[in-house]
């Protein structure tokens, strides 16, 4: 009797120990996975930064040097003198910021109608708008080029920006958010004599901060990174966006000794998106969850 109890206790302790051990392996495994995943994700970026700090001599050594012996920022100056990179930065900023502001405004307005107004054919129209989200850029490229050409806007800011001032994703995102705003709130404002314009911009818009943050991030990053459309419509070097300038930079400096210059250009090109992301990231997952991409 006594002995049986003791062996049961011992077994219990052993099970506990085994459980603790397997939990420990799990935790260690998780941290190993975390480290490996971070390293794989970061390696190309770290290598890019390291290369931008190397000297031309270091870049030509075989076997290659992993880390610069004397990190220097020369390449970051050179990139601005090889091509008009400062101008390209300004171009990208005007285009991406302008498009983003327009997308936010047009999306809030259209999203409001699709969320809160009733009229015949509303849902059909909404689904038609939604369907344009799945249309690849290349499908409309040839006629769009001719439309912009007919408007005499080839190789200009407005030419690049015009087709990008509204998009289905923005309208969809805003509709999902505005649907969550209680009708009573709008009706109360209407009873107080507020016009629909006031209802939208004074009552609803202040509640949309997470949605707007999410849309700003997506729209800006998308426009900043965009390549095919600017490649088609912009022709002179002083109109190039950062991404276009970079693709030209690569062909100018195909020699290995200029790799630091190209990498410096790449590092600079990432900064605006990164800064925006750091500012807006706390809204971000919450914003995405609202789009109805739920399980």
Partner 1 sequence: MQLLWSGVFLVPGVGLIAVFVVVPILLTAWISLHQWSMYTPLTQMQFVGLANYQEVLSDPTFQQALLNTFIYSGVSIVLTVPLAVFFGIFLYRPAIRGRTALRMVLFSTYMVPTVAVAIVWGYLYSPLYGPFNEILSFLGLPSQPWLGSTSEAMVSLIILNLWQTLGYYTVLVLAGLTQIPQDYYDASAIDGAGLLGQTRYVTLPLLRRTLTFVVIIAGINTLQVFDPVYVLTQGGPVNSTNVLTYDIYQTAFQFGRAGAASAMAVLLLIVLAIVVPALLHVARED
227 is a contact residue toward partner 1 (CB under 8 A): yes
What part of residues 231-260 is at the interface with partner 1 (CB under 8 A)?
231-232, 242-243, 246-247, 250, 256, 259
Count of residues engaged in binding partner 1, rule: CB under 8 A: 89
- b vs e for 183-210, b when ≥16 Cβ sit within 10 Å of the residue's Cβ? eeebeebeeeeeeeeebbeebbbeebeb
Complex with partner 1: residue 16 or 137, whichever CB lies closer: 137
Mark the segment that binds partner 1 (CB under 8 A) among 2-10, 12-20, 72-80, 196-204. Answer: 196-204
Q: Which of 139, 185, 188, 209 binds partner 1 (CB under 8 A)?
A: 139
37 is a contact residue toward partner 1 (CB under 8 A): yes
Mark the segment that binds partner 1 (CB under 8 A) among 71-79, 110-118, 180-188, 205-213. Answer: 110-118
Task: Classify residue 217 as exposed, middle or buried by CB count within 10 Å of its CB (0-12, 13-18, 19+).
Answer: buried
Determine the Cα–Cα distance for residues 230 and 96; give it in Å rounded to an integer. 11
212 is a contact residue toward partner 1 (CB under 8 A): no
Mark the segment that binds partner 1 (CB under 8 A) among 83-91, 99-107, 179-187, 202-210. Answer: 99-107
Q: Note whether 68 and 58 are within 8 A (CB).
A: yes
Dig out the tokens for 42 from the structure.
């970061």
Q: Which of 89, 112, 240, 258 binds partner 1 (CB under 8 A)?
A: 112
Dig out the tokens for 140 from the structure.
């409309």
Q: Which of 40, 69, 124, 191 binds partner 1 (CB under 8 A)?
A: 40
Determine the Cα–Cα distance for residues 225 and 60; give it in Å rounded to an integer. 30
Complex with partner 1: residue 14 or 142, whichever CB lies closer: 142
Determine the Cα–Cα distance for residues 255 and 60; give it in Å rounded to an integer. 10
Determine the Cα–Cα distance for residues 208 and 278; give it in Å rounded to an integer. 19
> Whole-number minimum distance, CB 185 to partner 1, in Å?
17
Contact code string over 152-171 relative to partner 1, x by CB under 8 A: ----------xx-xxxx-xx
225 is a contact residue toward partner 1 (CB under 8 A): yes
216 is a contact residue toward partner 1 (CB under 8 A): no
Dig out the tokens for 147 from the structure.
């439309």
Contact code string over 43-82 relative to partner 1, x by CB under 8 A: -xx-xx--x-------x--xxx-x----------------
Dig out the tokens for 174 from the structure.
């805003």
DSSP percent split of the chain into helix, strand, coil, nearest 5: 80, 0, 20
């Amino acid at each position: 009797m006594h002995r049986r109890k003791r062996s049961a206790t011992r077994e219990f302790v052993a099970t506990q120990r085994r459980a603790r051990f397997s939990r420990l392996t799990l935790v260690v495994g998780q941290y190993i996975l975390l480290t490996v995943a971070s390293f794989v994700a970061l390696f190309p970026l770290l290598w890019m930064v390291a290369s931008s700090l190397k000297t031309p001599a270091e870049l030509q050594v075989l076997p290659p040097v992993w880390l610069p012996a004397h990190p220097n920022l020369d390449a970051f100056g050179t990139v601005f003198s090889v091509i008009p990179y400062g101008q390209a930065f300004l171009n990208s900023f005007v285009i991406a910021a302008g498009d983003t502001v327009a997308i936010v405004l047009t999306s809030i307005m259209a999203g409001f109608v699709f969320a809160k107004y009733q009229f015949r054919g509303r849902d059909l129209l909404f689904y038609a708008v939604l369907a344009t989200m799945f249309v690849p850029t290349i499908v409309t490229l040839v006629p769009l080029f001719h439309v912009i050409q007919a408007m005499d806007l080839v190789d200009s800011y407005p030419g690049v920006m015009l087709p990008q001032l509204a998009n289905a994703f923005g309208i969809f995102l805003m509709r999902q958010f505005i649907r969550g705003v209680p009708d009573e709130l709008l009706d109360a404002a209407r009873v107080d004599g507020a016009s629909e314009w006031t209802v939208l911009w004074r009552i609803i818009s202040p509640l949309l901060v997470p949605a707007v943050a999410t849309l700003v991030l997506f729209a800006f990053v998308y426009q900043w990174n965009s390549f095919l459309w600017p490649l088609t419509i912009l022709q002179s070097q002083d109109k190039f966006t950062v991404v276009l300038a970079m693709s030209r930079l690569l062909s100018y400096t195909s020699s290995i000794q200029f790799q630091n210059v190209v990498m410096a250009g790449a590092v600079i090109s990432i900064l605006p998106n990164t800064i925006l992301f750091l500012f807006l990231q706390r809204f971000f997952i919450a914003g995405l969850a609202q789009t109805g991409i739920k399980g």
